[in-house]
Copies of this chain bind each other. A is one copy, B any other.
Amino acid sequence: MTHSRVVELEGHIIDSGMLGRCMGIVMDMDGLFEVEEFDVGRSNTEESYARMTVTADTEAELQAIVHELHQSGANPVDPLDATLTAAPADRVVPEGFYSTTNHPTQVRFEGEWVEVEHMEMDCAVVVDPNAEGGPRAYTKVLNAIEEGDRVVTGEAGIRVQPPERPRGTEGTFGFMQGGVSSERPSETTIKQIAEAMRAVNDAGGTVLVVAGPALIHSGAREDLARLVREGFVHAISAGNGFAVHDLERDLFGTSLGVNTETLDHARKGHKHHIYTISEIIKAGSIPDAVESGLVDSGVMYECVTNDVPYVLAGSIRDDGPLPDTITDAVEAQNAIREQAHEADMVLMLSTLLHSVAVGNCLPSTTRVVCVDINPATVTQLLDRGSAQAVGMVTDVGTFVPMLADYVLESADSTDSTDPESTAGVESDSTASR
């Protein structure tokens, strides 16, 4: 074992499990570690520092270990500049390219640490030395790589900061770290999510809702529409099916005498589905259909009316699609990526496909709420590694109504306790954005 390197860790590395994880990695990968220096944070608030030498049998094994340590926040002690290699062709990465985590990351360029912008997983990092205002670094997905891009390769000159355990009570979502369960007090959890939504809203943040068609089927359409109307949802990411079901309720709930409040909705559903799409195509687009008065209720209606942006991504199981649906997967992904980067909080409501697509583009610092009736879906989504995530195995058809009640109720009560306030919630939140 003659191949070794010195790495160091800093921060709340013990209670966050970082140090333990790093030691485990070395052992699992048949390496050795020796701790050279260790300053333990003596109290809740003090940070710790550890420096250790990692040894492996071959240079390849050592590199593999160091790569893993990297992802977990251990950095080489002797910071070199990051190695930059030109991409050999469009959509082709240079050998040894560095593949990102979703944690905050910096790269060292000409002796300075540069924050990598738009962090998300499984990207390359491209450095632009000549950017206005100094060198910039940002993530690029494979299909965005252009020939000649200066791509970070190897492990040198890269710093990753995995999320630390929140100290004290600062993390609203800290209460639920570590697991998904259907046996938590449901109402209390929903109340806390409502509070978090209001807090994000009050701070001028952006709440992105990712929603599947089950939300409409399960009767929660009106409640989501309320949240959009009242200004607590700032963007929607969904599929063609979600929009069609939402619009179908509007078009055929009134025109053909079907009472959407009864359970008598199954028959002829599919014909209405196709018809709805056909009508929207005839109108031109969803905004056109709203403007013409064809559509006058529902989630899409509220989005159009309240200028809440939405992305409708196409998929191979779509009927239609609607003219508003982006059918190219790469183009749709780019639109989703923009939504994800702007979001401060994401609610993923009963859709695996769209939630994974959004989740892929999120840094680990974005708050995430996953709601699904299927525990495997919630687990899969939370495994993506958000630091502040809540998973609820519940029924979206009861969750959204309760959530809307709590969000809007507390909105009302906030107003009423503030006699000076003349502005409603909606304008408040709009103003602060």
The residue in chain B whose Cβ has the minimal distance to the Cβ of A319 is B122
Residues 144-179 of A at the B interface (beta carbon under 8 Å) = 165, 167-168, 175-176
Q: Which residues of B are found within 8 Å of A23, using beta-carbon distances?
A: 14-15, 44
Q: Which residues of B are found within 8 Å of A401, using beta-carbon distances?
A: 187
Alpha-carbon separation in the docked complex, A91 to B323 (Å)? 10
Q: Which residues of B are found within 8 Å of A20, using beta-carbon distances?
A: 14-17, 19-20
Binary B-proximity of A87-125 (CB < 8 A = 1, otherwise 0):
011011100010100000000000000000000011010
Q: Which residues of B are found within 8 Å of A317, using beta-carbon distances?
A: 353, 356-357, 360
The interface stretch among A76-84, A301-309, A373-381, A420-428 is A373-381
Alpha-carbon separation in the docked complex, A43 to B124 (Å)? 34
Q: Which residues of B are found within 8 Å of A417, using beta-carbon distances?
A: none
What distance in Å separates the Cβ of A141 from its nearest Cβ neighbour in chain B? 7
Contact of A142 among B68, B268, B274 (CB under 8 A): B274
Binary B-proximity of A53-86 (CB < 8 A = 1, otherwise 0):
0000000100010011000000000000000000
Contact of A282 among B89, B124, B184 (CB under 8 A): B89
Q: Are B167 and A27 in contact (CB under 8 A)?
A: yes
Q: Are A26 and B44 in contact (CB under 8 A)?
A: yes
Residue among A122, A189, A317 having the largest count of chain B Cβ atoms under 10 Å: A317
Alpha-carbon separation in the docked complex, A302 to B29 (Å)? 33
What distance in Å separates the Cβ of A343 from its nearest Cβ neighbour in chain B? 16
Contact of A40 among B38, B41, B64 (CB under 8 A): B38
Q: Which residues of B are found within 8 Å of A189, using beta-carbon distances?
A: 263
Q: Are B319 and A316 in contact (CB under 8 A)?
A: no
Q: Are B121 and A270 in contact (CB under 8 A)?
A: yes
A contact residues, range: 35 or more
Q: Are A27 and B44 in contact (CB under 8 A)?
A: yes
The interface stretch among A197-205, A228-236, A328-336 is A328-336
Binary B-proximity of A250-280 (CB < 8 A = 1, otherwise 0):
0000000100011111011011011101100
Q: Are B182 and A395 in contact (CB under 8 A)?
A: yes
| A35-B41, A189-B263, A263-B185 known; A321-B218 Cβ under 8 A | no
Alpha-carbon separation in the docked complex, A44 to B65 (Å)? 15
| A32-B44, A267-B64 known; A316-B316 Cβ under 8 A | no
Q: Are B24 and A175 in contact (CB under 8 A)?
A: no
Binary B-proximity of A349-393 (CB < 8 A = 1, otherwise 0):
000011011001000000000000111100100000000000001
Alpha-carbon separation in the docked complex, A395 to B60 (Å)? 35
Q: Is A226 an interface residue when CB atoms closer than 8 A count as contact?
A: no
The residue in chain B whose Cβ has the minimal distance to the Cβ of A186 is B397
Q: Are A122 and B273 in contact (CB under 8 A)?
A: yes
What distance in Å separates the Cβ of A339 from its nearest Cβ neighbour in chain B? 12
A to B CB contacts below 8 Å, 19 in the list: A15-B27, A32-B44, A35-B40, A60-B257, A64-B268, A92-B278, A97-B271, A175-B263, A175-B264, A183-B214, A184-B263, A186-B219, A314-B330, A317-B357, A329-B329, A394-B395, A394-B397, A395-B399, A398-B399
Contacts A15-B20, A398-B402 known; 20 new A-B pairs at CB < 8 A: A16-B20, A27-B44, A33-B43, A35-B40, A68-B267, A92-B281, A92-B282, A93-B274, A121-B270, A122-B271, A124-B274, A182-B395, A184-B219, A187-B397, A187-B401, A316-B357, A328-B329, A374-B376, A393-B395, A395-B395
Chain A residues within 8 Å of B, Cβ to Cβ:
14-17, 19-20, 23-24, 26-27, 29, 32-35, 38, 40-44, 50, 60, 64, 67-68, 88-89, 91-93, 97, 99, 121-122, 124, 141-143, 165, 167-168, 175-176, 182-190, 192, 214, 217-220, 257, 261-265, 267-268, 270-271, 273-275, 277-278, 281-282, 313-321, 327-330, 332-333, 336, 353-354, 356-357, 360, 373-376, 379, 393-395, 397-399, 401-402
